[in-house]
Amino acid sequence: MRMLERAGLAVMHRMEPETAHDWAIWALERGLVPLPAKMRSPRLKTRLGRLELENPLGLAAGFDKNARALPALMQAGFGFVEVGATTPRPQPGNPRPRLFRLPEDRAVINRFGFNNEGEEAMEARLKGRPRGGVLGLNLGANKDSQDRIPDYVSVLQTCGRHVDFVTINVSSPNTEQLRDLQGKKALWALVSEVMQARAELPLDARPLVFLKIAPDLKAQSLADIAEVATVSSLDGVIATNTTIGREGLGSRHRGETGGLSGAPLFTRSTAVLAQLHELTGGKLPLIGVGGIASAEDAFAKITAGADALQIYSALVYEGLSLVPRILEGLDRKLKEAGLGSVAEARGQEAHLWARRFED
């Protein structure tokens, strides 16, 4: 499989990045992509709130924006899959080109701008979702909405009963003024409305609610988020989204606007994760995202405070075979450390990583 995958990646890397991505979704949707064997180990079984995961490694939102390839992705070895972001009304997003590979930096820059088919199309697909896996939906707001809080509520009301968790995305840098919703007052209002909307769903159809934050937050802003998350009874935080930072990049596309993801994000996102773990006393479930491309990266995120993980950008360079490679290596590292579970490793190095957090 690895040889076939490498050949496929080589062909796709000759295409314009977004075209290659569209082809990947098309092929997955039709069952044309060989899927890796699932990695199973009792050490990898993980709890995320009330959710039981076969393993801690999830697929981040943004890869399958419209839930077109769910059957394949939920059989690809991930512990959970997140689709979206979804907005109430369909929108085309920002003009192309809006996706750039930075191979020298093992990174990606995107400025998609929440391009998606809208909540009605998403609901239709989620109704027929495969059973047996853990599925999440990233909630977004339309670019031209004057008041964005009702947008998040609308997507939750329409689609929430069909998924296991939803994510309030206030951290994409590609929708103007969206990150303003991370301010304490605005965030409290948003979270309160979303939690109220969830409470109005049938008891057996209420998804967990996570919040996805940016890596570019200052210390006080992160402290405010920790307070809101704790007081509002959010079910967890995803740390982090893409960054607007560009320090140390060498690729020719380094000057493109948009959110940077991949290897350069690893240190900053992990420091934010650890700081949040410290601020919440380790009591709030956390999902670590940003720059994971190996078992070593995955283990570092867990010891920094993550209960579970998500990847995306590394798949651009490594393909789906990366999933079992990370999990096999993670299982081996847990065994070598004498640990029986991911939970036992969680947060062991959080205080060290938190020292790297700076305004």
Catalytic residue among 154, 171, 172, 221: 172
pLDDT of residue 235: 98
Instruction: Note whether residue 161 is domain-resident.
Output: yes
Instruction: Note whether residue 359 is domain-resident.
Output: no
Instruction: Note whether residue 247 is domain-resident.
Output: yes
Count of H-run helices and E-run strands, the chain: 13, 13
H/E element, 277: helix 266-279
Contact 330, 308 (CB under 8 A): no
pLDDT digits (tens, 9 = 90+) for 194-227: 999 999 999 999 999 999 999 999 999 999 999 9
For 271, the domain range is 2-354
pLDDT category, 3, cuts 50, 70, 90? confident
Sign of the C-alpha dihedral computed for residues 114, 205, 162 and 282 taken in this order: positive
Number of domains in the chain: 1
pLDDT of residue 181: 76
**CATH number, residue 177:** 3.20.20.70
Instruction: Note whether residue 9 is domain-resident.
Output: yes
Contact 242, 61 (CB under 8 A): no
- Mean of all residue pLDDT scores within the chain: 96
Strands 99-102 and 165-169: unpaired
Cα(233)–Cα(228) distance, integer angstroms: 8
Tell me the average pLDDT across 112-136.
96
Instruction: Note whether residue 324 is domain-resident.
Output: yes
Instruction: Note whether residue 141 is domain-resident.
Output: yes
H/E element, 131: none
Above 80 in pLDDT, residue 359? no
Decide: pTM greater than 0.75.
Answer: yes
Provide CB contacts within 8 A for 326, sequence distance 6+. 57, 292, 294, 295, 297, 298, 311
Tell me the average pLDDT across 336-344.
98
**251 included as an active-site residue:** no
In the DSSP assignment, the letter for residue 314 is H
User: pLDDT over 90 for what percent of the chain?
Assistant: 93
Instruction: Note whether residue 278 is domain-resident.
Output: yes
Instruction: Note whether residue 112 is domain-resident.
Output: yes
Tell me the average pLDDT across 143-147.
94
Tell me the average pLDDT across 252-263.
97
Show the tokens assigned to 119. Answer: 């909540």
Question: How far out from the chain centre does Cα 258 lie?
Answer: 17
Residues forming a β-bridge with 6:
none
Burial grade of 12 (CB within 10 A; 0-12, 13-18, 19 or more):
middle
Show the tokens assigned to 161. Answer: 């009963």
Tell which phi-psi region holds residue 208, choosing left (phi > 0), alpha (psi between -120 and 50) or beta. Answer: beta
pLDDT category, 4, cuts 50, 70, 90? confident
